[in-house]
Amino acid sequence: MPANNQQSIETIAVRAGIETDTQHGAITPPLYLSSNYSFAGFDEKREFDYSRSGNPTRQLLGQALADLEGGFGGIVTSSGMSAIFAVLQLLKGGERILAPHDCYGGTFRLFKSYAEKGLITLDFVDQTDEQALTVALEKKPKIVWIETPSNPLLRVVDIEKISQLAKQQGALVAVDNTFLSPVFQKPLLLGADIVVHSTTKYINGHSDVVGGAVVAKEKQIYEDIAWWANCTGITGAAFDSFLTLRGLRTLDVRVQRHAKNASKLVDYLVSHDQVEHVYYPGLVGHPGHDIAKKQQSGFGSMISFKIKGDVEKVKSFLSGLQVFSLAESLGGVESLICHPSTMTHAAVSIEEQKIAGITQNLLRVSVGIENVDDLIDDIQRGFETALPAEANRAASGPVAVSC
Ligand code: PLP
């Protein structure tokens, strides 16, 4: 049952599917694992017949996400990548997509591989560069892809403005809203047509499900994408949907706490003399700060920063950490740290990484909901490990090579 439009995001998330069980009155919705459903009689299909095409548990999650994003309907997929793949199916052979040059590495790889196979035409541009964006839009893309804040450098672009420009050229606008979730940003209300999530991240929030979702503003686009999701078999599993729906109920409290911790950690990082630069849209000096303030209701909890020094210093910094886990992914309750160049963006060539601003001394942090003082102490421990190691390397000088 779609949520009442008047309800706030916290209520929609908590109440999704609550008390919908008419058989026993279960408070939380049951998990339907059955792969198939009987027909009521000859040629009498019920609402569900086969779980790839439709499943009651998955449907609840899809509707909840659509209600949270303000869209017509939501399609739950097996991963964030399959959600992006589903949106690509809207393109006919050779049609053009315009994507940010610093989008998530998996998105970059998918679009590039499709273009190399001749299935689509592709332009990667720095969407913060107005002139480059205007030139690229004049080529009349069918889809404009937006990821804001972007991964890993947290560049922010104006969804409303790009949507207006894209519409003038007849393009659809799709926004990857993974980094903020609908709690902090609602792209469909800013003019986008499609929202994509890796629900693996904040939506599920507990690092125990890989999943994705597409939310479409209009019925036709929803139906087209749902058709392709069924046709290609990328719809999400029932158990994953059940867990994700459970995670979703606490989305608001989680992301508020994540963001509060992130803001304190940023304060610490910006004042640290071993930090070259901090990327966080909540900082007044961040180039996208004003746009973020306008279009987001929170700055999120992804931070990137550059350590003063080389990759060796980064390695010893990481070896000193005891609380942060060195891992890809983000958005779980636990704090993670990653080295984008060799981890999340390893599929992007070093030349393309350079263009996107990804360097060897860059680290990306997904701030969890632990006690923030423990997180700050841990980062401090990293620096305390890195500094003597760097001094030792300097003292021993260049390694002698014997012939
Ligand atoms: N979009 C963004 C912004 C991501 O960070 C990721 C994964 O890290 C994806 C999409 C892909 O999601 P998944 O790993 O669930 O396929």
Which residue, by CA, sits nearest to atom 11 of ligand 1?
Answer: 80
Residue 307: pLDDT band (50, 70, 90) is very high
Q: Does the structure show a pLDDT above 60 at 100?
A: yes
The pair phi, psi for residue 337, each rounded to 5°, is -135, 140
Nearest in space to 76 (alpha carbons), one of 63, 96, 88, 62: 62
Which residue, by CA, sits nearest to atom 6 of ligand 1?
Answer: 198
Amino acid in the structure at residue 272: H
116/164 Cα distance (integer angstroms): 29
Whether residues 155 and 290 fall in one domain? no
User: In this structure, what token pair is assigned to residue 282?
Assistant: 């909540």
Q: pLDDT tens, 113-156?
A: 999 999 999 999 999 999 999 999 999 999 999 999 998 999 99
115 lines ligand 1 (CB under 6 A): no
Question: Is residue 402 assigned to a domain?
Answer: no
Whether residues 58 and 207 fall in one domain? yes
The more confidently predicted of residues 26 and 7 is: 26
Question: Is residue 345 assigned to a domain?
Answer: yes
Whether residues 117 and 72 fall in one domain? yes
Nearest in space to 16 (alpha carbons), one of 245, 212, 203: 245
Q: pLDDT tens, 101-111?
A: 988 889 999 99
Q: Does the structure show a pLDDT above 50 at 400?
A: no
Q: Is the dihedral of CA 269, 270, 272, 273 positive or negative?
A: positive
Q: Find the 349 Cα to ligand 1 centroid distance in Å.
A: 18
- Residues of the chain with pLDDT > 70, as a percent, come to 97
Q: Find the 176 Cα to ligand 1 centroid distance in Å.
A: 9
176 lines ligand 1 (CB under 6 A): yes
Q: Does the structure show a pLDDT above 80 at 401?
A: no
Question: Is residue 102 assigned to a domain?
Answer: yes
85 lines ligand 1 (CB under 6 A): no
Whether residues 205 and 146 fall in one domain? yes
Residue 270: pLDDT band (50, 70, 90) is very high
**DSSP E strands, 32-147:** 73-77, 96-100, 121-125, 143-147
CB distance 252 to 9 below 8 Å: yes
Q: Find the 83 Cα to ligand 1 centroid distance in Å.
A: 9
User: In this structure, what token pair is assigned to residue 195?
Assistant: 């929202």
305 DSSP β-pair partners:
278, 363
Last residue of some domain: 248, 276, 295?
248
212 lines ligand 1 (CB under 6 A): yes
CB distance 121 to 94 below 8 Å: yes
Amino acid in the structure at residue 137: L
100 lines ligand 1 (CB under 6 A): no
SS3 118: coil
300 lines ligand 1 (CB under 6 A): no
Whether residues 124 and 236 fall in one domain? yes
Catalytic residue status for 201? yes
Quote the mean pLDDT of the chain. Answer: 95
Q: Which of 46-50, 241-245, 251-255, 389-393 has the lowest mean pLDDT?
A: 389-393
CB distance 191 to 74 below 8 Å: no
Last residue of some domain: 214, 232, 248?
248
- The catalytic position among 104, 202, 279, 280 is 104
SS3 108: helix
pLDDT at site 346: 87
Q: Which of 170-174, 375-379, 387-391 has the lowest mean pLDDT?
A: 387-391
Last residue of some domain: 248, 272, 307?
248
The residue segments making up the domain with residue 299 are: 252-396
Q: Does the structure show a pLDDT above 80 at 3?
A: no
Residue recorded with tokens 């304190």:
264
Whether residues 238 and 297 fall in one domain? no
Number of domains in the chain: 2
Q: pLDDT tens, 206-225?
A: 999 999 999 999 999 999 99
pLDDT at site 356: 78
Q: Which residues of 64-86 are buried (b: 16+ CB within 10 A; e: fewer)?
A: bbbbbbbbbbbbbbbbbbbbbbb
Distant-in-sequence, close-in-space partners of 170: CB < 8 Å, separation ≥ 6: 140, 142
Question: Is residue 56 assigned to a domain?
Answer: yes
Whether residues 94 and 137 fall in one domain? yes
Whether residues 53 and 86 fall in one domain? yes
Whether residues 372 and 300 fall in one domain? yes
325/322 Cα distance (integer angstroms): 8
192 DSSP β-pair partners:
none
Whether residues 233 and 263 fall in one domain? no
Q: Is 228 left (phi over 0), alpha (psi -120 to 50) or beta?
A: alpha
Rounded to two decimals, the pTM is: 0.94
Which residue, by CA, sits nearest to atom 13 of ligand 1?
Answer: 80
The more confidently predicted of residues 1 and 355 is: 355
- The catalytic position among 58, 201, 254, 364 is 201
Whether residues 120 and 212 fall in one domain? yes
Q: Does the structure show a pLDDT above 90 at 1?
A: no
Catalytic residue status for 52? yes
Question: Is residue 2 assigned to a domain?
Answer: no
Whether residues 273 and 172 fall in one domain? no
With the most atoms of ligand 1 within 8 angstroms of its CB, the residue from 78, 81, 329 to mutate is 81
User: In this structure, what token pair is assigned to residue 307?
Assistant: 């350590």
- Residues of the chain with pLDDT > 90, as a percent, come to 89
Residue 403: pLDDT band (50, 70, 90) is very low
Q: Is 235 left (phi over 0), alpha (psi -120 to 50) or beta?
A: beta
